[in-house]
Amino acid sequence: MSFFDEADEPRTEPTAQRRRRASGGGRRPPSEEQAIRVRRGVAIVIVLIVVILIVVGVHSCQVSARNNSLRDYNNNVSTIITESNQTGQEVFDALANTGGSGGAVGVQSKIAAAANRATNELNQAKKLSVPDEVKKAQQYFEWVMQARSDGISGIANQVQPALSNATSKDAVNQIAAEMAKFYASDVLYKSYSLPLIAGALKQAGIATSGPNAQSFNGDQFLPDVQWLSSSFVADKLHVSIATPGGKPTPGLHGHSLDSVSVGGTTLQTGSTNTLPASPPPQFTLSFTNGGTNTEHNVSCKVTVSNTSITGKTTVPQTTPGQHATCTVTLNASPPAGNYTVTATIGKVPGEKTITNNTLTFPVTFQ
């Protein structure tokens, strides 16, 4: 019995051993755990690299967009300045050619048209897309365009009075004052706005010199600082700014009539000159400025004795010591007959001797 009893007793030791083996069998080998840690580290590094690339890419896009906006802004400013300078050139061309067709009204019309263009250019400047880096430059730029627009409008309002027969000294002075706005616009643009734009481009790493660099328009709007002088403006407009009753400039004043011709033939004072009566003849008066001053609005006149037939023209300007000519056409054909034709160069302010301003000729009109 004892034998069988011992044989039937359960054995607990092997079960415990199995538990220990089962428990020990659930652990991963050290090499496998290390591989997992390596994979996790690699994954983290990859994520970090991706994040860095995204950040770098976003920053690069932002920098590229900013640089492109700076380039576009500079190009737009240069374009507007170029258009503005062309508008200014039209103004100065009109002022320097006041003797063209249309007279004072025509000159005023041209400058008024330029004033409209200047207003449009100012509006374009105000509508520009402005990067933060050039906000201050834009403020100066708008002042530049405002000064030019105001100056041209002011000249358009004054040019007719300045060119009228009763020349207004105040109008000429006002035109010279408007020129100061143009000078100020050049200073604001070239000394303030443009350097700020160039500095912003350079700080952004955009080339401002050398090949493929950004270009800048640094042209001058006011062609000559002498336009700030009333006397210079008067010279260009071929007018006098002497006020009625005012004192003429110091020095000698006056002209001498040298000769008179018709159709290339010089008239003689001591013998009868035969001229066709129709069409109304044209007389060419040759004279000299014998003074030391530039004279303005010098009148030339021809009359036919015992008739109301006459002719008159005006020479805008004569130069001291220089010869000048004018062509006078009679306002009607004289009746056939004998007459005395008188040609005269008008007296200018300050002229004391006028005996040499006139020549008379016996003329037979056929």
Q: Give, in degrees to the nearest 5, the angle at Cα 56 between 54 and 59.
A: 105
Q: Are 216 and 71 in contact (CB under 8 A)?
A: no
Q: Give, in degrees to the nearest 5, the angle at Cα 48 between 45 and 53.
A: 125
Better pLDDT: 256 or 209: 256
The reported pLDDT for the residue numbered 2 is 45
Of the three residues 202, 237, 272, the one that is the final residue of a domain is 237
Asked, for residue 98, whether it belongs to a domain, the answer is yes
Structure tokens at 334: 């004289």
pLDDT (average), residues 43-61 = 72
Q: What are phi and psi of 250, to 5 degrees?
A: -60, 155
Verify that 266 and 158 share a domain, yes or no.
no
Verify that 166 and 233 share a domain, yes or no.
yes
* 154 closest CA partner among 121, 126, 185, 112: 112
Of the three residues 178, 204, 237, the one that is the final residue of a domain is 237
**What span, in angstroms and rounded, lies between the C-alpha atoms of 340 and 40?**
122
Q: Which of 50-54, 159-163, 208-212, 247-251 has the lowest mean pLDDT?
A: 50-54
pLDDT digits 0-9 by tens, 115-139: 999 999 999 999 999 999 999 999 9
3-class secondary-structure state, position 29 = coil
Verify that 114 and 178 share a domain, yes or no.
yes
pLDDT digits 0-9 by tens, 298-331: 899 999 999 999 999 988 888 899 999 999 999 9
Q: What domain range is 127 assigned to?
A: 53-237
Helix, strand and coil content of the chain, in percent to the nearest 5, comes to 50, 15, 30
Asked, for residue 57, whether it belongs to a domain, the answer is yes
Number of domains into which the chain is organized: 2
Does the CA dihedral 311-315-319-324 come out positive or negative? negative
pLDDT digits 0-9 by tens, 217-252: 888 999 999 999 888 888 888 776 654 455 777 889
Verify that 228 and 91 share a domain, yes or no.
yes
Identity of residue 119 = T
* 110 closest CA partner among 101, 119, 123, 121: 101
* 119 closest CA partner among 91, 141, 90, 150: 150
**What span, in angstroms and rounded, lies between the C-alpha atoms of 346 and 349?**
10
Residues contacting 245, CB < 8 A, separation 6+:
none
Identity of residue 33 = E
- The pLDDT > 70 percentage for the chain reads 84
- pLDDT confidence of 58, banded at 50, 70, 90? low
Mean pLDDT, the chain, whole residue set: 85
The reported pLDDT for the residue numbered 249 is 77
- pLDDT confidence of 206, banded at 50, 70, 90? confident
Asked, for residue 7, whether it belongs to a domain, the answer is no
pLDDT digits 0-9 by tens, 168-188: 688 899 999 999 999 999 999
Concatenating the DSSP letter of every residue in 132-172 gives GGGHHHHHHHHHHHHHHHHHHHHHHHHHHHHHSSS--HHHH
Query: Which helix (H) or strand (E) segment is 79 a member of?
Result: helix 30-96
Better pLDDT: 193 or 67: 193
Asked, for residue 246, whether it belongs to a domain, the answer is no
Verify that 202 and 270 share a domain, yes or no.
no
Verify that 61 and 207 share a domain, yes or no.
yes
pLDDT (average), residues 37-46 = 78
Verify that 92 and 129 share a domain, yes or no.
yes
Asked, for residue 39, whether it belongs to a domain, the answer is no
Verify that 78 and 119 share a domain, yes or no.
yes
**What span, in angstroms and rounded, lies between the C-alpha atoms of 275 and 282?**
10
- The pLDDT > 90 percentage for the chain reads 53
Asked, for residue 38, whether it belongs to a domain, the answer is no
Verify that 359 and 274 share a domain, yes or no.
yes
Verify that 270 and 165 share a domain, yes or no.
no
- pLDDT confidence of 101, banded at 50, 70, 90? low
Verify that 178 and 288 share a domain, yes or no.
no
Q: Give, in degrees to the nearest 5, the angle at Cα 34 between 30 and 35.
A: 120
Verify that 172 and 295 share a domain, yes or no.
no
Supply the DSSP symbol for 264. Answer: T
Query: Residue 360 maps to which CATH number?
Result: 2.60.40.10
Asked, for residue 25, whether it belongs to a domain, the answer is no
